[in-house]
């Protein structure tokens, strides 16, 4: 049977030209390590290549296990055409597959990681017959990886609502792989003016080694650690749990040696990013809105201060469904109203914010929700720094005309 028929309906994996390869026999188990010098697939994940011979109709099973990375197996013919693959079939983020060989020939097994940047030790077993069916194929503790960071390197990034969320928590996070050597001392710093940084260092399947909130001075986080061995570690970029659902830009730095930490901590976090910056607007919602409802409120100095323009912001939550069109009006006699929307599928562009479309310096935003879920309507001001005062916020179904008149209210 042509190989093309064997993989019909299967997403082909783009395999590179033949790289360094190691023979493996049916019935054999080998150990290895994914390193920075190994070849990479097109998704930037690394692999080791093994070859074996088999007969037509032979049933073989392959197991790939690792405590350092999320294992992935690719089985291909001698030319590199993908026959099958598996990610989490072997329980706890390990990979396992069973395959009937189509012809007497040589075959390839790629010991691979599921995510780019992952490194570490593994164990590969090639056996005759069917593999045992796993009792649980849910992968926990490893998951998506944002990238690779080395000791002596600084990277910048952004936490967004597209990042994974801590289970049972209101915080988003990113995983970064950190290669280390045995007895290597280093300092990890996480800094941000747009969210309250929280930092964790883990190994393997999410085993927590150490965590820190404000050890870097102010609200920044710092971890000092000496690696006992050369297994790669995971740096978790996270936020404090309050305000909820914080996002924004950050700087992550790993320095050689041990730097001093702030044991007591002196965080007084009030900063937040505006609509274009991706940061949290005001943490906990001030209230709940519904379509057809009007709420009265007030911006005060107790609300979150947007550090980029010295204005206060206040969030109201609203449940929406995909494709639903609404008009949001923000009116105030005491400040120049500014309005923006945050939530799933919202890019932060001009389509999700407004300044003066409500006339007389009031804000009016007509929007169609891109997804079903919870959104935040953020009450803000523009022009005068530290502006406060009463406002009226309403949400109505459908669209309303926008005013083109310039704002000329006396400040």
Give me the DSSP letters along 352-364.
GEESSTTBTTBEE
pLDDT (tens digit per residue) in 204-253: 888 899 999 989 988 899 999 999 999 999 999 999 888 888 999 999 99
Q: How many other CB atoms sit within 10 Å of the CB of residue 360?
A: 15
Terminal Cα distance for the chain, rounded: 79
Q: Write down the pTM of the prediction.
A: 0.62
Q: Is 344 in contact with 324 (CB distance < 8 Å)?
A: no
Scanning the structure block, which residue is given the tokens 């396992």?
96
CATH code of the domain occupying 3-128:
2.60.120.380
Sequence ranges of the chain with CATH classification 2.60.120.380 = 3-128, 147-256, 287-397
> Residue 192 has what DSSP assignment?
-
Structural fold of domain 147-256: Jelly Rolls (2.60.120)
State the Cα–Cα distance between residues 202 and 296, nearest whole angstrom: 46
Along the 411 residues of the chain, how does pLDDT read in single tens digits?
333 333 333 333 444 445 578 999 999 999 999 999 999 999 999 999 999 999 999 999 999 999 999 999 999 999 999 999 999 898 888 999 999 999 999 999 999 999 899 999 999 999 999 988 877 667 777 878 999 999 999 999 999 989 998 877 889 999 999 999 999 999 999 999 889 999 999 998 888 999 999 899 888 999 999 999 999 999 999 998 888 889 999 999 999 999 988 886 667 665 544 443 333 333 444 578 888 888 888 888 877 887 777 888 888 888 889 999 999 999 999 999 999 888 888 766 667 888 889 888 899 999 999 888 888 898 999 888 889 999 999 999 999 998 877 777 654
- Tell me the residue ranges of DSSP E strands in 80-173: 82-86, 95-100, 105-113, 120-128, 147-148, 154-159
CATH code of the domain occupying 287-397:
2.60.120.380
Q: Is 222 in contact with 259 (CB distance < 8 Å)?
A: yes
pLDDT (tens digit per residue) in 168-183: 788 999 999 999 999 9
Query: What is the secondary structure of 17-29 as a DSSP string?
Result: S---EEE--TTEE
Q: Is 300 in contact with 313 (CB distance < 8 Å)?
A: no
Question: Cβ contacts of residue 340 below 8 Å, gap of 6+?
Answer: 274, 275, 281, 348, 352, 353, 354, 365, 378, 380
Query: What is the secondary structure of 218-272 as a DSSP string?
Result: TT-EEEEEE-SSS--EEEEEEE-SSSTT--EEEEEEEEESPPP--SS--------
């Amino acid at each position: 049977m042509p190989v093309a028929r064997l993989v019909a309906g299967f997403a082909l994996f783009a395999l590179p030209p033949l790289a360094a390869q190691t023979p493996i026999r049916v019935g054999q188990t080998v150990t290895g390590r994914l390193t920075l010098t190994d070849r990479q697939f097109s998704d930037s994940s690394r692999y080791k290549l093994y070859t074996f011979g088999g007969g037509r109709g032979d049933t073989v099973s392959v197991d790939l296990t690792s405590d350092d990375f999320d294992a992935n197996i690719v089985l291909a013919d001698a030319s590199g055409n993908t026959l099958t693959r598996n990610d989490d079939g072997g329980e706890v983020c390990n990979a396992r597959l069973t395959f009937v060989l189509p012809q007497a020939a040589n075959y390839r097994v790629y010991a691979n990681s599921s995510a780019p940047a992952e490194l570490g030790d593994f164990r590969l077993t090639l056996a005759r017959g069917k593999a045992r069916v796993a009792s649980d194929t849910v992968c926990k503790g490893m998951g998506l990886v944002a990238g690779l960071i080395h000791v002596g390197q600084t990277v910048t990034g952004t936490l967004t609502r597209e990042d994974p969320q801590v289970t049972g928590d209101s915080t988003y996070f990113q995983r970064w792989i950190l290669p280390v050597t045995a007895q290597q001392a280093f300092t990890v710093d996480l800094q941000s003016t747009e969210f309250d940084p929280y930092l964790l260092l883990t190994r393997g399947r999410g085993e927590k080694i150490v965590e820190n909130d404000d050890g870097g001075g102010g609200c920044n986080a710092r971890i000092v650690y000496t690696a006992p061995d050369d297994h790669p570690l995971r740096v978790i970029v996270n936020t404090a749990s309050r305000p909820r659902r914080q996002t924004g830009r950050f700087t992550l730095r790993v320095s050689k040696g041990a730097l001093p930490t702030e044991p007591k901590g002196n965080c007084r976090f009030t900063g937040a990013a505006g609509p274009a910056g991706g940061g949290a607007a005001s943490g906990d919602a001030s209230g709940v809105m519904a379509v057809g409802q009007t709420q009265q409120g007030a911006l005060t100095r107790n609300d979150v201060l947007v550090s980029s323009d010295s204005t206060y912001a206040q969030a109201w939550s609203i449940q929406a469904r995909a494709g639903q069109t609404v008009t949001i009006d923000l009116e105030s006699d005491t400040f120049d109203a500014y309005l923006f929307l945050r939530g799933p599928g919202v890019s932060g562009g001009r389509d999700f914010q407004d300044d003066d479309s409500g006339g007389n310096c009031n804000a009016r935003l007509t929007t169609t929700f891109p997804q079903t879920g919870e959104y935040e309507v953020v009450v803000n001001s523009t022009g005068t720094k530290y502006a406060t005062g009463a406002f009226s916020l309403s949400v109505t179904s459908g669209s309303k005309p926008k005013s083109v008149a310039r704002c000329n209210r006396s400040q």
